[in-house]
A = this chain, B = another copy of it.
């Protein structure tokens, strides 16, 4: 006899949201030459951020301030909200898990798009929620169908990312606001804006913290180039933000991460520069795709999703031929989206390799 897991936990699969590039490298027994699959920012964090980490490395013996006071105040000032409208966490992944735990118990219906962020689904499954998935429409999340599903299922939680991962598409602020207006006030919207900094300003509704049914999530992992440091934050009405304190890991933040995120936020010049580089790299990936007769889907993120023009099996073959050629990319797997591969921005040298290898991969996949 062994200790018995809670039935819900026992029933969960051992599958993981997605496999890391390091696991693929171990399996292939060789390193990738181009790391373009994880929607990281290969341009890296600002030199000022790297310097701050190095300067404070010796302070890593101290627990971080559990209130994230300095970072929360800096974010509040940057966003023109109160510190009590912000919760900081160990990446958006952690905040998604905490938000799901607040609104989901066994059998709770939760609405998302079919093929959207798998870690959100992982958390919903982990708390016993019942996922209602709405297909994309014209490669965008389908706002009106999401709304219909929320109402039909009386769902207390809906997930929508703008811009979207894995397609890179987006809605304008007006459309998002209409969606929010139409939501039942008892339905919490998680508006994932992880890629917000690389998106046009016209896609971002003004922050309205009087809305008690919207949690906006942002991150230092993408434009700020700090995926490895794990820092995200959610913005919302005070009452909803306070609920995170009931269950979050108060001493969970990394001390150097607090320092790095503060330094990153201060260096808005670097952010502007790097967003320029991301846009240029996006354009180059699109041009490479089109030079190979493929269609690049317009993107507001730090990646470009490329329509390989045939079915999912063909796109998977292209993906595998790229991986064999030391180019790490990923692909959407949901029906309708699975005809695509997804290529993250990176340094010119990495895009050179992608440019060289894509025609060979396409040839081999045919």
Contacts and interface: CB of A to CB of B under 8 A. Distances in A.
Interface string A48-76: 01100110011111111111010000000
A28 to B, nearest CB: 14
A80 interface: no
> Contact residue range for chain A?
35 or more
A119 B248 CA distance: 11
Contact of A66 (B8, B20, B90): B20
A60 to B, nearest CB: 4
A69 B26 contact: yes
A93 B249 contact: yes
A156 B67 CA distance: 33
Q: How many copies does the complex hold?
A: 2
A295 interface: no
A225 to B, nearest CB: 4
28 contacts: A1-B185, A1-B186, A2-B186, A2-B213, A3-B240, A6-B102, A9-B243, A9-B246, A9-B247, A14-B242, A16-B245, A22-B69, A26-B69, A38-B62, A38-B63, A40-B61, A40-B62, A40-B63, A45-B58, A53-B53, A60-B226, A63-B221, A91-B251, A94-B249, A230-B252, A230-B253, A230-B254, A256-B256
